[in-house]
Amino acid sequence: MTGESRTGSVRARITKILRNQGVLIGLIFIIIVASILEHSFLTMSNLLNILRQASAIGILDFGVTFVMMTGGMDLSVGSTVSLCSVVAVSVMNRYGQDVGSDDVVMFAILAAIILGFLVGLINGSLIVAFNGRIGETFIITYGMQIVVSALALLYTGGHFIAGTFAPGIYQWLSTGFVPIILFFTIGAIMHVILAYTPFGKQVSFIGANMDCAKMSGIKVNSIRTLVYGICGICAGITAIIVTSRVYSASPLQGNGYELDAMAAVMVGGTSQTGGTGGIANTILGVLVLSVLGNALNVIGVDANAQLLFRGAIILIAVGLDVWNKSSNIKEASK
């Protein structure tokens, strides 16, 4: 019994295409509808805008992809981005004058990345210490979200931090094609790591069957912890790009990023239980959501109402994933 589907009616074929390429089709559909409703949608500047916005959160989504490939999730990424943002900007404010432009930018970037990495490691260690499956992972990272968010608020005293020292290089990071290049470069690197290196293969295997991975001599605990650390690093990088655009940071900067990240990753086709999917999928998912968000904005939909869409998209994405998996099981069953 092979895994080939029965070629049969046209209807079966169409359903199969819809399932596998549904996301791509959805993307094209949204673009078409949006450009009909609002002519300015399809302009070069708007499209570049979309890509630029996608890039910032996209890098975060790469990190979340790694975590979800192991079958986990990280709800604290939003607040991690907030924390790294405020720390980065305040580092530049405080040390800018003393150290000079280039160095302080380096400090700020390092600070954000290292901080993100540490938060990620803490998440990973906690989850691993409790042999966490989906329920525990959820609650532990949810709790961390509260904690990290509180830390960010504490750090800034609830205020918004405006960048007072203006190192041009930092702001350059979000101009023109820079974020887009960063997005695709980091994406390419992470894709290669995930799909073609031993480490990446082990990451996916853990998601496919964690017990089997353990019994095959894979260092499951170390890899799981590391994966959360990587996610944290991505959060740090995202924080840098996001703050560079406005050169300021709010302790609530990343609120909601975790939901968008999960939605993008799942829409792209990575399974919520892990094992299948990957960075290429996430790139698609990020693009779809960015296009959708931009389209809604351009048409004039309220920001609050967009929350409705966010929630609905998560449900639809997961629903599709579940549907896909159950049909695969039916096809493959003996």
Partner 1 sequence: MPWEWSSLSGQKETGMEQHILEMRDITKTFPGVRALDKVSFLVRRGEVHGLVGENGAGKSTLMKILNGVLLPDSGQILMNGMPVTFRNTKQAQACGISLIYQEFNLVNTLSVAENLYLGFLQTGRSKLINWKKVRAEASALIKRLGFGFDVKEKVENLSVAERQLVEIAKALSLNTQLIAMDEPTSSLTTNEIEKLFSIIKELREHGITIIYISHKLDEVMAICDSVTVMRDGHIIDTRSARETNNSEIISKMVGRPVDMKYPKRRSDILGEEVVLEARNISCAGFVKDISFSLRKGEILGIAGLVGSGRTELVESIFGARHLQGGEVYVLGKKECIRSTSDGKRCSIGLVTENRKETGLALNYSLADNVVITNLSKVKIGLIISKTKTKSSVYRYVDELAIKTPSIRQPVVNLSGGNQQKVVIAKWLFSDVDILILDEPTRGIDVGAKYEIYLLMNSLVENGKSIIMISSELPEVLGMSDRVIVINEGRKKGELCGTEMSPEAVMRLAIK
Partner 2 sequence: MSTRKANRSSFLNLIVDYTVLFILIGFIVFMAMVKPSFLTWWNIKNILIDVSIYGVVACGMTILIISGEFDLSASSQYMWAQILFVSMLNIMKNPLVPILVTLVSGLLIGIINGLIVTKLRINSFITTLGTMTMIRGLCLVFTNGKMVSTNNAFVKAVGSFEFIGLSSFFYIYLIILVVLSIILEYTNFGRRFYATGGNIEVARLAGINTIFQKTAAFSIMGVLCSIAGMMLVAQLRAGSTQYGTDLSLSCVAATVIGGTRLSGGSGNALRTALGMLVIVMLYKALVYLGLQAYYQNLVKGLVLILVVMFDLFMSQQRKVMVR
Nearer CB in complex with partner 2: 202/255 = 255
Only segment of 24-32, 127-135, 172-180, 226-234 that touches partner 2 (CB under 8 A):
127-135
Q: Is 307 in the site for partner 2 (CB under 8 A)?
A: yes
Q: Is 272 in the site for partner 2 (CB under 8 A)?
A: yes
Extract the tokens encoding 29: 């559909």
Nearer CB in complex with partner 2: 59/321 = 321
List, in order, residues 6 or more apart from 256 with CB less than 8 Å away: 78, 310
The alpha helices in 38-133, defined as continuous H runs, are 44-69, 77-99, 101-129
Tokens 């607040």: give the residue.
Answer: 79
Nearer CB in complex with partner 1: 1/305 = 1
Residue 176 binding result from partner 1, partner 2, none, given CB thresholds of 5 to 8 Å by partner type: none
Residues 203 and 66 sit within 8 Å (Cβ to Cβ): yes
CB neighbours of residue 95 within 10 Å: 16
Nearer CB in complex with partner 1: 63/275 = 275
Residue 308 binding result from partner 2, partner 1, none, given CB thresholds of 5 to 8 Å by partner type: partner 2
Cα angle at 250 between 178 and 83, to 5 degrees?
80
Dihedral sign of CA atoms 281, 282, 287, 293 in order: positive
Residue 160 binding result from partner 2, partner 1, none, given CB thresholds of 5 to 8 Å by partner type: none
Q: Is 297 in the site for partner 2 (CB under 8 A)?
A: no
Residues that bind partner 1 (CB under 8 A): 1-3, 192, 196-198, 201-202, 205, 208-209, 211-219, 221, 275-276, 328, 332-334
Q: Is 250 in the site for partner 2 (CB under 8 A)?
A: no
Interaxial angle between packed helices 257-268 and 44-69, expressed in degrees from 0 to 180 and rounded to the nearest 10: 90
Q: How far is the CB of 86 from partner 2 (least distance, A)?
A: 13
Q: 56 vs 22, 114, 311, 333, CA distance in Å? A: 25, 18, 21, 42
Residues 223 and 202 sit within 8 Å (Cβ to Cβ): yes
Give contact residues for partner 2 (rule: CB under 8 A): 126, 130-132, 134-136, 138-140, 142-147, 149-151, 153-154, 158, 259, 262, 272, 302, 304-312, 314-315, 318-319, 322, 326
